[in-house]
Each structure stands twice: as C-alpha cells, then as structure tokens.
C-alpha cells in the first residue's frame, strides 16, 4: 500500500466502537470475566470470514459487544480505538456508540459515559473523536426514546444520533423522535439505510426522518433516480466497501458500486465500519477506493475534505481539520 495513504490526514464518519473490538481483545475481555475462549463466536481465533449473512454478522457482533461488562472494558476498547485512529492520522472521527447495549448489559450510566469519554480522549486534541449514539431498529421504537433520554442526560462529546440495525424490522418513521431530538439539541442524524435493505429504506430515511447523512446507501446504485436525487441534494453517504463484501452484498470489491456513486456526483466518504470484523482499516479502505476508481492522491485528499464538511463537528473544528488537510503536501 502506498505510504502516503498511511500518512495522509484523514476523516472518518462511519465506524462502530463495539465493532473495533479485535478478536484478541475479545479473548482478553472474555478472560477478564472468566468466559472460556471456546465460547466466543470465533473460528481459529478469528472472526468468521465470510459471515453467512447480515443476521450472522449481527449475532457475532452482539456476542462480542456483550463482553464489554464493566466501565474498565469500555475504557480499554475506546483507548485502543483512539490509538488506532492516531496511528492512521485520522484528524477527526465520529464513532457510533450503542449506549443501550451497555445499559442492557448492566453498566452504570454515568460510569459508562466517563469510561468512553476517557478512553476516546486519549487520542489527544490533534485527533478528535466525537460520538454518534445510535438506536437499533430491531429493538423497536422504544429504543429511539431510550437513546434520546441517554444522550440528553450525558455530558460526553456527542455530535449526532444514529439509527442502525436490521432494515425492514421496524419502519424508519417509528423513530421520528430521533429527528426531533437531533433538531432540538443541535445534533446531526445519521441513518444506516440501503445496506442490506433497498432503495426504499434510503427514501424513508430522507423523507420520514430527514436524515442528515446516509450510512452505506449502496442500494441507491440500483435506482438511477435515487442516485441523482442524492447527488442533487448533496446528501453525504458513508460508504464502507469491505464491510459490504464481507456481508455478501456484493460478490467482490470489483462489483462494489463506489465508483458508480462517485461518478454520479454523490457526496461519498470512505469508512471502515467494523474494521477487525472485516480484516480492514480505514487506510486500507482508502487504498481500495483508489484502486476501484483510479482517483489520484489529490482526489483521495479531496474526499477527506468532503468528509470533514459532512461531519457534525462544530464549524471551528471543521476549519481546523480543513487547514491541516490543506497544509499536507503530496510529494
Ligand atoms: Zn455501520
């Protein structure tokens, strides 16, 4: 991989904190809690590759998330994630955090926010990490209300609300409380849509929820009018190529519609989603994006600028990140 992609200042908008737990960290957390490693959903000490389908992935993901039992576990995974973002020179990250999972797991609410803030804060001021707190579709509309209540009581660095989970399980319009709370609290709203679901889920995210960003959105590539709408409205779409292939949406990376979305003028960013689950990193995803599109290094850097402008960060943070990107010269 080109060295400049490793060093390039980056922005990441779509990555899940619970999805950054590596197989070895999962084994470590299991040991902390007296769980035998052979009870983990790993194959030869690694995540299944490939997952048999989206539901299989979700089952593994939930089992791994449940290893985070104590605030100290959360601090461990957040600090490890912060280190990995610094190593990749990610200047600004929005990481999705499913707070409800940890509350369900019995964690104290205040201790949870302290632990995640403390762990993420270890990236230091030059590599800021902010939170998007998500509700999960398949947990039902009440998870939207619960997520809003958790966020409104928190003093953690939260910049957005999210909607994730299995598309089609519960309609987008059932989560209107997320839109209302985002507007009331000055937060962004990022909705996973058109991943395993179809173009209709993207349309519902836009029309029923007023989504500020779409997570994945690759189903739009099947519907030229929707692609044109996304481009015309400048809707930021967070694309995660390796995740989509690992979950069987496309047979190979070469079949991924990222080049088509870019060519249609969609405001795309490149993201890692759940990097160790898909044996990837943000740097590798950018390498893939460059390979699929033939973008120059300057073109990849422009994607970072576009991601910064599509972030939910305060204006002064966006300006700082854009200045740092401008100061970076490609040799
Ligand atoms: Zn995601």
User: Tell me: the pLDDT tens digits for 193-216?
Assistant: 999 999 999 999 999 999 999 999
Flag whether 30 is in a domain.
Answer: yes
> How many angstroms does the Cα of residue 233 sit away from the middle of ligand 1?
22
List CB contacts of 101: < 8 A, sequence separation 6 or more. Answer: 18, 62, 65, 66, 68
Residues annotated as catalytic (active site), given as ranges: 195
pTM over 0.75: yes
Flag whether 331 is in a domain.
Answer: no
* Res. 1: pLDDT tops 60: no
DSSP class of residue 126 equals T
List CB contacts of 261: < 8 A, sequence separation 6 or more. Answer: 217, 218, 220, 221, 227, 237, 239, 268
Flag whether 246 is in a domain.
Answer: yes
Q: Which pLDDT tens digit goes with each residue over 85-114?
A: 999 999 999 999 999 999 999 999 999 999
Flag whether 328 is in a domain.
Answer: no
Q: In 3D, which of 91, 80, 90, 96 has the Cα closest to residue 135?
A: 96
Percent with pLDDT over 70 in the chain: 99
Flag whether 326 is in a domain.
Answer: no
> How many angstroms does the Cα of residue 330 sit away from the middle of ligand 1?
30
Flag whether 41 is in a domain.
Answer: yes
Q: Which pLDDT tens digit goes with each residue over 39-59?
A: 999 999 999 988 988 889 999
Q: Which pLDDT tens digit goes with each residue over 234-283?
A: 999 999 999 999 999 999 999 999 999 999 999 999 999 999 999 999 99
Q: Quick one: pLDDT at residue 3?
A: 84
Flag whether 327 is in a domain.
Answer: no
> How many angstroms does the Cα of residue 212 sit away from the middle of ligand 1?
15
> How many angstroms does the Cα of residue 192 sit away from the middle of ligand 1?
7
Q: Which pLDDT tens digit goes with each residue over 211-229?
A: 999 999 999 999 999 999 9
Domain that holds residue 96: 3-320
| Rounded Cα gap, residues 69 and 107, in angstroms | 7
Q: Which residues of 170-184 are buried (b: 16+ CB within 10 A; e: fewer)?
A: bebebbebbbebbee
CATH of residue 179's domain is 3.20.20.140
Total domains in the chain come to: 1
Flag whether 325 is in a domain.
Answer: no
Q: Which pLDDT tens digit goes with each residue over 300-328?
A: 999 999 999 999 999 999 999 999 999 99
> How many angstroms does the Cα of residue 329 sit away from the middle of ligand 1?
31
| Rounded Cα gap, residues 208 and 278, in angstroms | 31
The model's confidence at residue 331, banded by pLDDT at 50, 70 and 90, is low
> How many angstroms does the Cα of residue 215 sit away from the middle of ligand 1?
6
């Amino acid at each position: 991989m080109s060295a400049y992609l490793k060093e390039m200042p980056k922005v990441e908008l779509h990555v899940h904190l619970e999805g950054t737990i590596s197989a070895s960290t999962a084994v470590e957390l299991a040991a902390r809690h007296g769980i035998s490693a052979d009870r983990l959903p790993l194959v030869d000490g690694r995540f299944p590759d490939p997952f048999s389908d989206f539901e299989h992935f979700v089952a593994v993901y939930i089992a791994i998330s449940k290893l985070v039992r104590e605030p100290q576990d959360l601090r461990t995974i957040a600090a490890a994630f912060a280190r990995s973002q610094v190593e990749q020179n990610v200047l600004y990250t929005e990481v999705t955090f499913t707070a409800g999972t940890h509350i369900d797991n019995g964690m104290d609410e205040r201790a949870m926010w302290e632990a995640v803030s403390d762990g993420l804060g270890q990236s230091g001021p030059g590599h800021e990490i902010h939170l998007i707190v998500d509700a999960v579709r398949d947990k039902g509309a009440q998870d939207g209300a619960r997520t809003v209540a958790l966020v409104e009581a928190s003093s953690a660095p939260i910049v957005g609300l999210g909607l994730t989970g299995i598309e089609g399980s519960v309609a987008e319009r059932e989560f209107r409380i997320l839109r209302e709370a985002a507007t009331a609290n000055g937060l962004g709203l990022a909705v996973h849509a058109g991943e395993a679901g179809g173009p209709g889920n993207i349309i519902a995210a836009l029309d029923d929820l007023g989504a500020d960003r779409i997570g994945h959105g690759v189903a739009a590539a099947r519907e030229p009018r929707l692609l044109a709408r996304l481009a015309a409205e400048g809707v930021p779409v967070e694309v995660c190529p390796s995740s989509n292939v690992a979950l069987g949406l496309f047979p190979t990376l070469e079949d991924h519609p990222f080049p088509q979305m870019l060519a249609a003028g969609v405001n795309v960013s490149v993201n890692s989603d759940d990097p160790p689950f898909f044996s990837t990193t943000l740097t590798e995803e950018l390498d893939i994006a460059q390979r699929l599109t033939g973008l120059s290094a300057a073109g990849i850097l422009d994607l970072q600028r576009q991601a910064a402008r599509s972030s939910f960060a305060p204006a002064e943070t966006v300006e700082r990140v854009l200045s740092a990107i401008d100061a970076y010269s490609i040799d």
